Structure 1
Amino acid sequence: MSHKATHPPDTPLYPIREVSRLTGVNSVTLRAWERRYGLIRPQRTPKGHRLYAQDDITRVERILQWLNRGVPVSQVGDLLDQPEKVETPTPASGDWESQRQQLQATIEALNLPKLESLYYQSLSIYPVSVAINELWQPVILSLEAQWANAPDALVRRTLEAFLRSQIGIRLHYANQATRGPLILLNVMPDDPGPLWILMAALMASEQGYRVQLLDRNLPLEDLPQAVARLHSSMVLLASGQKESDSYIREALPHAAKTLNVPLGVCGEVARLREQAFTDDSVHVLGDDLPQAISRLRPLLRESGVL
């Protein structure tokens, strides 16, 4: 169902960059919701620039609410004009699950042109947090479980190279466009690749942080120098593995105490070792990457950065 923009002449109107700032939905996604799905219909200036009223912004927020409940964007249009108390529908067969199956099959087939298409499609249709939660994180978990029983170094390294390239380009331009705090992201020593840290970097960049990504493990004893020379406001470590007892219980707390910035941990390691993190100097942010990144801001406020 299309949403017609019929606002009184004196209604305050906002350009797309302001709507993106207010809602956290990037302009590419806002345009996709309009063009592909007719979910929003902003007014246009004589030169074709989009202008959004408060009703449009409220509608964007409702779209986000449905997406964050796991409803695919293809089903959201039918829900927007229903009563607020309508129950979340079960996603139609062939939507999220089929998207995951398609993405995983594409990765395993080493079909890079199709992988590139799926990557850009997922980040244009959905906010990054939804794309990671509903698509990329589940697929990475599925692949890593599969590789634990039947390692496939070629597929893993190909996926890592693809994401390193695509996310690296995104980080380069995003870092130039923001003045947010710099987050130093480092992979943990037992993780065989940077998939988790790459996803965390993508999420952090989308939340307005500048990101310095180290996708090969930098020894903990070198972190103080790295923080000083890169002018980092926080260190964030990630892993898809359990990591060793000595690393979790001794090395990390010791490293955290040598830093003058917060040290956080995210990724599967946060779930696998939840009970092992007993030192308050190490901030355990969880395995849900969008949620983990949302927890950075309070830590940075507490440390006086924000």
Structure 2
Amino acid sequence: MSNKATHPPDTPLYPIREVSRLTGVNSVTLRAWERRYGLIRPQRTPKGHRLYAQDDITRIERILQWLNRGVPVSQVADLLDQPETVETPTQDAGDWASQRQQLQLTIEAVDLPKLETLYHQSLALYPLSVAINELWQPVILSLEAKWADQPDELVRRTFEAFLRSQVGIRLHYANQATRGPLILLSAMPEDPGLLWVLMCALMASEQGYRVQMFDRSLALKELPNAVSRLHSSMVLLSSGQRESDDYIRQTLPKAAETLNVPIGVCGEVAKLRENDLRDGPVHMLGDDLPQAIARLRPLLRESGIL
């Protein structure tokens, strides 16, 4: 299929707002795919507004399929017009590894202007779930593994402060724009920072939830009061650590029984402690953050909250 806009005159056309709703790709990303890579070529009104036909929407869906298979956006153009049966390029052929290396080196160099550029670029070029899965989560895992052997508080705290500022701005406006369920989001006691919480907050906000994020681990005994006073629909806890046996096996399940809303766990701790919490009152949502957030809506429906 050509990416040229050559639709018949009677072809139904959709504005970018509607295409974003249909495909789940935000308008900033759609514009970036057009301007930077020429992946789509919508028609324009006399005033310059973009209009998309059904074959443009189909093309966007194919782009998403390739991205979700781990193909970097820079390679998608060469794959779009190939047969559906073409195999996914090997990882060696992609540039995810180089992007991850560049991001990690930038973080470790405490180069905040470049970090801001990479942050906004990743969120503009990719759906958030792809950006988190392929770029941000792997880099955070790599950094935390390195910091476990060679602590670097300056890098960690600077990186967290940067993300806290960026995510905080995003949450502020997103919370005002949606009436979705409110999630209380907190780190667990042994997590030394907010990196996992911040990634969860980004993903939850993207999926239409309002997010109340705590800068420090909220004591479990405070959860009932927090849920009541903030009118929360769910509590979500995250950690990149294993957390203590007593906390996971006793304190957390007891706290879950005192709540009248679901309590879920995501991040690395969900993988490390899956067997410990599998059959209890705490919902294990997994270490894949986009999938973890996707599991919230069915969980809220089962609980009678939605």
Instruction: Give the TM interval when normalised to the shorter protein.
Output: over 0.9
Deviations 1:217-247 (A, max 9, x none): 0101111111111111111100000001111
- Distance in 2 between the 1:90 and 1:142 partners? 21
- Deviation of 1:11 after TM superposition, in Å, equals 2.0
Deviations 1:37-87 (A, max 9, x none): 111111111111111122111111111110011000000011111111110
| Residue correspondence of structure 1 range 46-57 to structure 2 within 5 A | 46-57=46-57
* AA matched with 1:127: P
- Is the contact made by 1:183 and 1:212 (CA closer than 8 Å) also made in structure 2? yes
Structure 1 stretch displaced more, 11-20 or 258-267: 11-20
- Distance in 1 between the 2:10 and 2:183 partners? 43
- Distance in 2 between the 1:13 and 1:96 partners? 34
Partner of 1:78: 78
- Deviation of 1:278 after TM superposition, in Å, equals 3.6
Q: Give the TM-score, by structure 1 length.
A: 0.97
The answer to whether 1:159 aligns with 2:159 is yes
- Is the contact made by 2:71 and 2:94 (CA closer than 8 Å) also made in structure 1? no
- Is the contact made by 1:122 and 1:131 (CA closer than 8 Å) also made in structure 2? yes
| Residue correspondence of structure 1 range 204-219 to structure 2 within 5 A | 204-219=204-219
- Distance in 2 between the 1:49 and 1:92 partners? 39
For residue 11 of structure 1, give the secondary structure of its aligned residue in structure 2.
coil
Deviations 1:133-186 (A, max 9, x none): 000000000000000001000100000000000010011111111111111111
- Is the contact made by 2:42 and 2:50 (CA closer than 8 Å) also made in structure 1? yes
| Poorly superposed stretches of 4+, deviation over 3 Å | 91-94
Q: Give the TM-score, by structure 2 length.
A: 0.97
- Deviation of 1:93 after TM superposition, in Å, equals 4.7
Gaps in structure 1 of 5+ consecutive residues: none
- Distance in 2 between the 1:180 and 1:101 partners? 36
Partner of 2:245: 245
- Is the contact made by 1:204 and 1:293 (CA closer than 8 Å) also made in structure 2? yes
Partner of 2:271: 271
Sequence identity, in percent? 82
Partner of 1:40: 40
For residue 135 of structure 1, give the secondary structure of its aligned residue in structure 2.
helix
- Distance in 1 between the 2:154 and 2:201 partners? 23
- Is the contact made by 1:72 and 1:91 (CA closer than 8 Å) also made in structure 2? no
- Deviation of 1:304 after TM superposition, in Å, equals 2.2
- Is the contact made by 1:2 and 1:40 (CA closer than 8 Å) also made in structure 2? no
- Distance in 1 between the 2:127 and 2:230 partners? 29
- Distance in 1 between the 2:136 and 2:295 partners? 20
- Distance in 2 between the 1:177 and 1:233 partners? 18
- Is the contact made by 1:253 and 1:279 (CA closer than 8 Å) also made in structure 2? no
- Distance in 2 between the 1:2 and 1:198 partners? 40
Partner of 2:188: 188
For residue 256 of structure 1, give the secondary structure of its aligned residue in structure 2.
helix
- Distance in 1 between the 2:50 and 2:142 partners? 40
Gaps in structure 2 of 5+ consecutive residues: none
- Distance in 2 between the 1:278 and 1:123 partners? 33
Partner of 2:128: 128
- Distance in 1 between the 2:181 and 2:192 partners? 28
